[in-house]
């Protein structure tokens, strides 16, 4: 795969920088003091009531109980009755391909990506890792986003993922820029071509897509071994879409760094748990993917939630509530497998969490119209609680653990002195009911309020 990356990249940066729509930020000297807030700091510590947060230059410079002497000229905001939690980090998403009820590389424009980054932000998601479905223009968008030049969630990306010719990811998914090496030598060369673009991880698909491809169409171990080896030679970690326990074992033996979905065909055995711990392999369960696969069949309680509707692309609500769609799910030969997959995924999450494996939040939102960008992240936390974690644990996974996975924990992921003032202001306590992470009053980024929540831009 050869593309004229650098010309388009330069062009895109120019376009994106000039189209910047961020409201004029408060002056760098502006000190903001939030008083009487209840802080859920993302580290797993209990909620701390009556806290004062002092923000200067976009960062938290003090976070203390009670009151502080407020410097003249500082802006003071009373947060009585509000809960502050760090903004969410989603370590498995896709951007730009979704538009209306379609998923296609043709939808991938700077405008579409920017719109979706804004949507993520409206739902309190500060940072996302897009898993290998970019178009060439996406490289410049990622770079501009990381440089703070475009509004919305910050985009990290695997850029172009690695799949199998005639198999995963399916052509029907509409992802046109995928490496599909047929030999280890080709795989190595492809990684060498991709590495100068600095993908944040290397993404591979190792799956038969619910049995829709033959076993011999699953990426062969010699291919992913070559990909992982070359990724490591460039200092890049490898992440795999996977499904089966047997593939997980082989991928771990091959040096995998990140499992980008749950193992869903069988309960994880002690050997794999121990090996994942020993090798510091991170695990991204994407439970909401499994839930969304069949949930629409039975009119789930959240179906009429205006925030769910707001997270959908135009036309998708009518699609998923139609009798035809329900019938399609109930008749699909894949549905029984998907229904069995979720409880196994929940159990495996609990096992790995209790063993001390690094778990980060991911959703696979944006890869299909039925998985809503923004709402999925909140559903993901609720499913973690259903798996047996506490809301406090789910929030840490959604925030600090994601920052650790991305290697940005010195800057993001928790509300602590010195870190960026990126947080969500909630009207209701998420520790008494995890669904309250959706009671978003405001979203702050770099010490500035950037959104009034999910109903601001996308009410349908
Ligand atoms: Zn994905």
Residue 69, preceding peptide bond in cis (omega within 30° of 0): no
Please report whether residue 459 resides in a domain: no
* Co-location of 334 and 425 in the same domain: no
Q: How far is the CA of 357 from the centre of ligand 1 (A)?
A: 21
pTM of the model: 0.93
Q: Which residues contact 334 (CB under 8 A, 6 or more apart)?
A: 210, 211, 212, 293
Asked if residue 342 and residue 362 are part of one domain, the reply reads: yes
How high is the pLDDT of residue 175?
86
Distance 88 CA to ligand 1 centre (A): 18
What's the gap in Å between 413 CA and the centre of ligand 1?
Answer: 22
Q: State whether 277 and 224 are in the same domain.
A: yes
Task: Kindly report the CATH number assigned to the domain that includes residue 434.
Answer: 2.30.40.10
Going from the Cα of 209 to the center of ligand 1, the distance in angstroms, rounded, reads 12
If asked whether residues 345 and 419 sit together in one domain, one would say no
Q: Are residues 356 and 439 in the same domain?
A: no
Specify whether 255 is located in the same domain as 388: yes
Q: Print the domain residue range for 345.
A: 88-406
pLDDT above 70 (res 13): no
Pairing between strand 59-65 and 258-259? unpaired
Report the pLDDT value the prediction gives residue 30, as an integer from 0 to 100: 85
Domain assignment present for 6: no
CB count in 10 Å sphere of residue 192: 12
Which of 459, 371, 366 lies closest to 108 in space, CA to CA? 366
Cα of 20 from ligand 1 centre, angstroms: 28
CA of 92 to the centre of ligand 1 (A): 6
Q: Both 35 and 157 in a single domain? A: no
Based on the fold, state whether residues 75 and 132 are members of the same structural domain: no
Instruction: With cut-offs at 50, 70 and 90, classify the pLDDT of residue 23.
Output: very low
Dist. CA 172 → ligand 1 center (Å): 14
Among candidate residues 19, 16, 55, 17, the one with its CA nearest the CA of residue 35: 55
Work out the mean pLDDT of the chain and round it to a whole number: 92
Give the C-alpha separation, 179 to 297, whole Å.
35
Query: Could you tell me the two tokens for 26?
Result: 């408060």
Q: Quick one: which H or E segment has residue 33? A: strand 31-39
pLDDT, one tens digit per residue, over 177-200 is 999 999 999 999 999 999 999 999
Centroid of ligand 1 to alpha carbon of 380 (angstroms): 14
State the average pLDDT over residues 408-420: 98
Residues 78 and 127 occupy one common structural domain: no
DSSP alpha helices (H): ranges in 4-64? 5-18
Q: Is residue 16 part of a domain?
A: no
pLDDT digits (tens, 9 = 90+) for 433-451: 999 999 999 999 999 999 9
CA nearest neighbour of 339 among 164, 437, 210, 443: 210
Give the dihedral of Cα atoms 189, 195, 201, 202; nearest 10 deg.
-10
- Mean pLDDT of all residues in 321-333: 92
Residues 71 and 122 in one domain: no
Does residue 363 contact residue 289 with C-beta atoms inside 8 Å?
yes
Apex 134 CA angle, 187 and 89, nearest 5: 105
Same domain, 50 and 197: no
446 exposure class (CB count in 10 Å sphere: 0-12, 13-18, 19+): middle
176 and 313 share one domain: yes
Q: Is residue 439 a contact partner of residue 427, using CB atoms and an 8 Å limit?
A: yes
Give me ligand 1 centre to Cα 9, in Å: 24
pLDDT higher at 78 or 73: 78
Q: Are 349 and 285 in contact (CB under 8 A)?
A: yes
Let me know if residue 20 belongs to a domain. no
Task: Count up the domains in the chain and report the number.
Answer: 2
């Amino acid at each position: 795969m050869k593309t004229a990356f650098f010309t388009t990249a330069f062009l895109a940066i120019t376009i994106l920088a000039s189209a910047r729509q961020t409201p004029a930020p408060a002056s760098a000297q502006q000190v903001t003091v939030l008083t009487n807030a209840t802080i859920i700091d993302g580290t797993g510590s209990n909620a701390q009531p009556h806290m004062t947060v002092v923000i200067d230059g976009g960062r938290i410079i003090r976070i203390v109980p009670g009151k502080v002497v407020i410097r003249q000229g500082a802006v003071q905001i009373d947060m009585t009755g509000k809960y502050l939690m760090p903004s969410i980090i989603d370590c498995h998403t896709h951007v730009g391909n979704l538009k209306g009820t379609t998923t296609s590389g043709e939808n991938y424009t700077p405008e579409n990506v920017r719109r979706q980054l804004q949507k993520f932000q409206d739902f309190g998601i500060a940072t996302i890792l897009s898993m290998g479905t970019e178009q060439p223009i996406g490289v410049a968008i990622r770079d501009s986003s990381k440089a703070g030049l475009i509004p919305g969630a910050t985009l990290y990306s695997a850029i172009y993922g690695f799949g199998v010719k005639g198999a995963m990811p399916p052509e029907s998914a509409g992802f046109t820029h995928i490496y599909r090496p047929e030999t280890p030598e080709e795989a190595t060369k492809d990684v060498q071509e991709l590495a100068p673009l600095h993908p944040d991880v290397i993404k591979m698909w190792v799956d038969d897509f619910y049995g829709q491809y033959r076993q011999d169409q699953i990426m062969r171990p010699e291919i992913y071994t070559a990909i992982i080896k070359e990724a490591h030679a460039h200092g890049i970690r490898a992440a795999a879409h996977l499904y089966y326990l047997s593939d997980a074992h082989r991928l771990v033996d091959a040096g995998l760094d990140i499992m980008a979905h749950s193992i869903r065909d069988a309960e994880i055995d002690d050997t794999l748990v121990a090996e994942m711990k020993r090798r510091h392999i991170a695990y991204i369960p994407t439970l909401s993917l499994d839930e969304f696969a069949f949930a629409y069949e039975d009119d789930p309680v959240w179906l009429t939630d205006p925030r769910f509707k707001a997270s959908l692309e135009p036309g998708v609500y009518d699609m998923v509530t139609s009798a035809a769609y329900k019938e399609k799910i109930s008749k699909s030969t894949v549905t029984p497998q998907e229904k069995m997959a979720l409880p196994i995924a929940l159990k495996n999450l609990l096992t790995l969490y209790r063993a001390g494996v690094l778990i980060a939040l991911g959703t696979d939102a944006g890869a299909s119209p039925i998985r809503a960008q923004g709402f999925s992240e909140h559903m993901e936390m609720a499913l973690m609680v259903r798996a047996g974690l506490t809301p406090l644990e789910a929030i840490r996974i959604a925030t600090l653990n994601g920052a650790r996975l991305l290697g940005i924990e010195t800057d993001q992921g928790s509300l602590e002195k010195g870190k960026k003032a990126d947080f969500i202001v909630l009207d209701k306590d998420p520790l008494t009911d995890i669904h309250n992470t959706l009671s978003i009053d405001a979203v702050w980024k770099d010490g500035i309020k950037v959104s009034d929540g999910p109903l601001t831009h996308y009410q349908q």
